[in-house]
Chains A and B, each alone.
Chain A
């Protein structure tokens, strides 16, 4: 297999000193397309945040071969204020942050890239519309356009198809496959098992600890999924529920 894009080494992530992800080790190879699957409270979002660097590991470490600047991260939609008064084009241009920073002007080249990105996600001519007027699906397309502007070699998606209509999901999945074809490394937190089986060659099964990590057909077996559900029931019986990132 090709070289490692991201390496997790005994990674433990905690909120308020209570561990949400424990002792995860493994490698995301360059160009891999991985789904992260697990029950509620399994630490899936936490793991993504740990990889991006939004949460500092309390043990172990994350190594990113090309540096964190090469990671683009799509948070859950619930964390973004959709009524915010901003134009679609400006929201997409934010993807160029690493190039424009605080001061540099948004020139015609970036404007052009914004147009291209909007057409790529099926929102041609939406640049001058306010974000507040979009549906949930259209808003998710805007966030994908922003990812396009980031032009990163590693892309992390946190529940990208939640609360999104079927057509949008299909369009955006096509975009994800396109990225995969361009040899980008993609990691997505997903709930829909059918989607995972159909589109994601590799799956990481997480229940605070790493249960399985490998080819989707070997990982998404009834036995493994049953084991995963059993673990989440154990936490609920133990009565201590950890904060999931989006709560």
Chain B
């Protein structure tokens, strides 16, 4: 028993890179969990996905200037993410295109552009690094960045939590009572981009939303309040990180996909046996109606 428990923590005790990866997962979970929940409740799941890809060309430009340096990639990615969020919002407001369609258009463009830019100077390995991240190579500096973003994001979210939740529930009401919904929406979008840039360090642009949306969708099946949903999402995200890292260590799997697939496992499990609105939660009620 003791030795089995020890096996669960041994890799983290033995190797610094595993510890750093785990701490990075913890920070990402705390930051991204609530953000994912609010994206989900605002019906913006795909927007988060699109924005994570939009980070790519910015990171690529950073890469062209400074190689795989932390600040180049981060600042470039942050700027590009913000720009795409802003432009897509403008296009949706001033043309007939709906917001999700305009986001889809922008993210395909940025994905292609990003891959092109990286390939101009880097090797395929660099491209893989940027697309899929390298959570096992997270250094202290990157860890500090991820942790700072998680802290900032949690603090800001605490400040704008009430109007943000109200705006999800009933945007017309908030505007009618003089709450500045648009302002909070903008702050929220900045937080989304910040968190995406953070998880980009660990999971790459293609899977940065993995620890954001999958745990949020999982939490929807277990909770009936926004705050408990955020908490559940963060815990699920961290568990996914922990189990995913262990699996990747034990079986020599790439760590990013192992983490995201573990999160996906939680999600599928919740779809089936979750407490609220899952497949099994709905079954007995239907029988009652018949009987």
Contacts and interface: CB of A to CB of B under 8 A. Distances in A.
B157 to A, nearest CB: 12
A130 B172 contact: no
A87 B229 CA distance: 13
Nearest to B166: A94
Contact of B159 (A53, A94, A103, A130): A103
A80 B170 contact: yes
A53 B160 contact: no
Contact of A79 (B163, B170, B220, B225): B170
Contacts of B284: none
Contact of B169 (A72, A86, A150): A86
Contacts of B162: 100, 102
Contact of B226 (A80, A85, A146): A85
A220 interface: no
B70 interface: no
A103 B159 CA distance: 7
A144 to B, nearest CB: 13
B190 interface: no
B229 A85 contact: yes
A90 B162 CA distance: 10
B176 A73 contact: yes
Contact of A52 (B159, B166, B168, B176): B176
A214 to B, nearest CB: 28
B173 interface: yes
Binding site secondary structure of chain B:
helix
Contact of A71 (B169, B176, B224): B176
A73 B173 contact: yes
A98 interface: yes
A221 B100 CA distance: 47
B41 A84 contact: yes
B40 to A, nearest CB: 10
A68 interface: yes
Interface string A56-76: 000000000000110111010
B278 interface: no
Nearest to B220: A85
Contacts, number: 67
A35 B36 CA distance: 43
Nearest to A130: B224
A52 B176 CA distance: 6
Contacts of A72: 176
A97 interface: yes
Contacts of B163: 102
B267 to A, nearest CB: 17
A97 B224 contact: no
Contact of A97 (B174, B223, B226): B174
Given A54-B172, A75-B170, A86 B226 contact: yes
B169 A98 contact: no
A98 B178 contact: yes
Contact of A85 (B170, B173, B176, B224): B224
B125 interface: no
B167 to A, nearest CB: 11
A132 interface: yes
Contacts of A102: 159-160, 162-163, 179
A30 interface: no
Nearest to A16: B96
Contacts of B172: 54, 73, 75, 79-80
Given A52-B176, A68-B178, A102-B159, A81 B169 contact: yes
B41 A85 contact: yes
Residue of A68, A72, A85, A86 ringed by the most chain B CB atoms within 10 A? A85
B45 to A, nearest CB: 14
B121 interface: no
A169 to B, nearest CB: 21
A91 interface: yes
A84 B177 contact: no
Question: Lowest 3 CB-CB distances: which A-B pairs, in order?
Answer: A130-B224, A75-B172, A73-B176
Interface of A: 52-54, 68-69, 71-73, 75, 79-81, 84-87, 90-91, 94, 97-98, 100, 102-103, 130, 132, 146, 150
Given A73-B172, A91-B169, A102-B162, 15 more contacts: A52-B176, A54-B172, A68-B178, A73-B176, A81-B170, A85-B41, A85-B223, A85-B224, A85-B225, A86-B169, A86-B225, A87-B224, A94-B166, A94-B170, A103-B159
